[in-house]
């Protein structure tokens, strides 16, 4: 884990000079939908539970720094929700959860012209911080509580009760790898970016195998990652940094 953090920091340091050499800066809002799926690390959990993809959304801002016609560096700050939906293959009990994150992708992009538009591929690490979560669980014995499902909130400290569960060993910093393709379409002086991306989650949601739901009939844990396929659109305001730097500078000799 420590080595991965070092690589991400090195990645950022290597591309810091792009801000100095920037020719074009594009910034703007971004929104999108995403389908996330839970992937267990333990073979036993894979055998017991079937995982279903679930839809959610993300929203935030984008900054793209072009250093040449082909290459650019892009970073984003996103609020996003991923979801888990798993079902016991034999007895039919199920669990659904939603996780709220603040995410920071750091992407290197290669672009090429496509008529008046651009098409691109990008890749890079993504750092996410787990803010909060909610869930609900169904089991035959839940009916004894006179309810169809048992809803609960996920927290990281405080008192635990029937409707509030504490994840003491949570990995609140999540690391992933983003790979994507997309297109940039001119909209007058600005641009519309359409992005398709897959995020390979590399960090388990928690470090302990013990169930964090205090129900004796329900066994579960957070030794899993979240894999996410997202589709988004961003409206980018275009700033020609090179022209702004050279504006007002004289290219000839001073008049005597």
Q: pLDDT by residue (tens digit) across 117-164?
A: 999 999 999 999 999 999 888 876 666 666 678 888 988 888 777 678
In sequence order, which residues have a C-beta less than 8 Å from that of residue 124 and are 6 or more positions away? 11, 105, 106, 107, 108, 177, 178
Q: pLDDT class for 68, splitting at 50, 70, 90?
A: confident
Let me know how many helices (H) and strands (E) the chain has, helices first.
4, 11
Distance (Å, whole) CA 153 – CA 136: 9
pLDDT average, residue stretch 81-89: 93
- Between residues 201 and 21, which one has the greater pLDDT? 201
Distance (Å, whole) CA 94 – CA 130: 23
Distance (Å, whole) CA 24 – CA 192: 15
Average predicted confidence (pLDDT) for the chain = 84
Distance (Å, whole) CA 111 – CA 182: 9
173 has which bridge partners? 129
Q: What is the pTM (predicted TM-score) of this model?
A: 0.83
Nearest-CA neighbor of 53 among 30, 87, 79, 80?
87
Distance (Å, whole) CA 252 – CA 106: 41
Q: What is the pLDDT of residues 88-107, one digit of tens each?
A: 888 888 889 999 999 999 99
At residue 245, the 3 state secondary structure works out as: helix
CATH number, domain 2-245, options 3.30.1360.120, 2.40.160.20, 2.60.120.260, 3.40.50.40 = 2.40.160.20
pLDDT average, residue stretch 220-225: 84
**Sequence spans of domains, the chain:** 2-245
């Amino acid at each position: 884990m420590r080595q991965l953090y070092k690589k991400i920091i090195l990645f950022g340091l290597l591309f810091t000079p792009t801000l100095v050499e920037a020719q074009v800066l594009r910034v703007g809002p971004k929104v999108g939908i995403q389908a996330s799926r839970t992937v267990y690390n333990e073979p036993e959990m894979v055998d017991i539970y079937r995982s279903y993809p679930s839809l959610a959304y993300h929203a935030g801002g984008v900054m793209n720094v072009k250093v040449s016609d082909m290459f650019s560096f892009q970073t984003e700050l996103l609020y996003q929700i991923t979801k888990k939906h798993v079902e016991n293959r034999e007895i039919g009990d199920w669990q659904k959860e939603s996780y709220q994150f603040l995410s920071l992708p750091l992407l290197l992009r290669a672009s090429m012209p496509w008529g008046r538009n651009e098409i691109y591929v990008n890749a890079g690490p993504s750092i996410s911080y787990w803010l909060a979560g909610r869930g609900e669980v169904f089991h035959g014995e839940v009916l004894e509580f006179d309810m169809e499902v048992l809803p609960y909130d996920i927290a990281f400290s405080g008192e635990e009760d029937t409707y509030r569960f504490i994840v003491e060993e949570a990995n609140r910093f999540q690391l992933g790898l983003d790979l994507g393709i997309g297109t940039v379409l001119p909209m007058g002086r600005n641009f519309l970016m359409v992005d398709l991306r897959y995020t390979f989650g590399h960090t388990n949601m928690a470090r302990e195998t013990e169930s964090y739901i205090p129900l004796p009939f329900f066994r579960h844990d957070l030794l899993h990652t979240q894999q996410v396929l997202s589709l988004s659109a961003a409206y980018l305001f275009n700033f020609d940094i090179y022209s702004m730097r050279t504006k007002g500078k004289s290219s000839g000799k001073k008049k005597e």
